[in-house]
Amino acid sequence: MTSTIETRPPLPPFTRESAIEKVRLAEDGWNSRNPEKVSLAYTPDSRWRNRAEFATGRPEIVQFLTRKWAKELDYRLIKELWAVDDNRIAVRYAYEWHDDSGNWFRSYGNENWEFNDQGLMQRRFAGINDLPIKEADRKFHWPLGRRPDDHPGLTDLGM
């Protein structure tokens, strides 16, 4: 009988380089805006705090992301490594989106991640603040989906 253990490289303990890769893979997943695909990066019993909302497990993560991307239209995200230690990664990020009335926002946040030995995120704690912006003040202009490799990151954008 063959046993399949779900893994999601890179695996902890993380180096600075492998943590940067993990952060970019997370950014790419979220920019897909595919809740089911994104949920697979988390353990089946993953625990989240996102702002004042709590989710446990992949089904709740899918529900959360489905609601999020129904509200946050034309969502584009950039994540950047802040710190790494063993199986934990801290990131900072910003994303731009608009609501169904055409009001644009840039949301700034920080996340703390903890991974299991298979590289799946078992805990995610996120704090986020929304800043109303004018459409002309947007900085994230790539086509929906993965941020191009040559698009500036947060530091390069002065954020």
* pLDDT value of residue 5: 78
* pLDDT value of residue 73: 98
Contact predicate 116/87, CB 8 Å: yes
Strand runs labelled E in 15-156: 42-50, 53-56, 73-85, 88-98, 104-115, 121-133
Average pLDDT taken over every residue of the chain: 96
Is residue 3's pLDDT more than 80?
Answer: no
Percent residues over pLDDT 90 in the chain: 97
> CA-CA distance, 123 to 121, in Å (whole number)?
6
What's the whole-model pTM score?
0.95
Is residue 7's pLDDT more than 90?
Answer: yes
Domain boundaries, the chain: 16-137
* pLDDT value of residue 65: 98
Q: Give 12-23 pLDDT, tens digit per residue.
A: 999 999 999 999
How confident is the model over 46-50, as a mean pLDDT?
97
Is residue 1's pLDDT more than 60?
Answer: no
Domain spanning 16-137: CATH 3.30.1330.60: no
* pLDDT value of residue 24: 98
Contact predicate 28/104, CB 8 Å: no
Is residue 4's pLDDT more than 90?
Answer: no
Q: Give 101-156 pLDDT, tens digit per residue.
A: 999 999 999 999 999 999 999 999 999 999 999 999 999 999 999 999 999 999 99
CB neighbours (10 Å) of residue 1?
Answer: 2
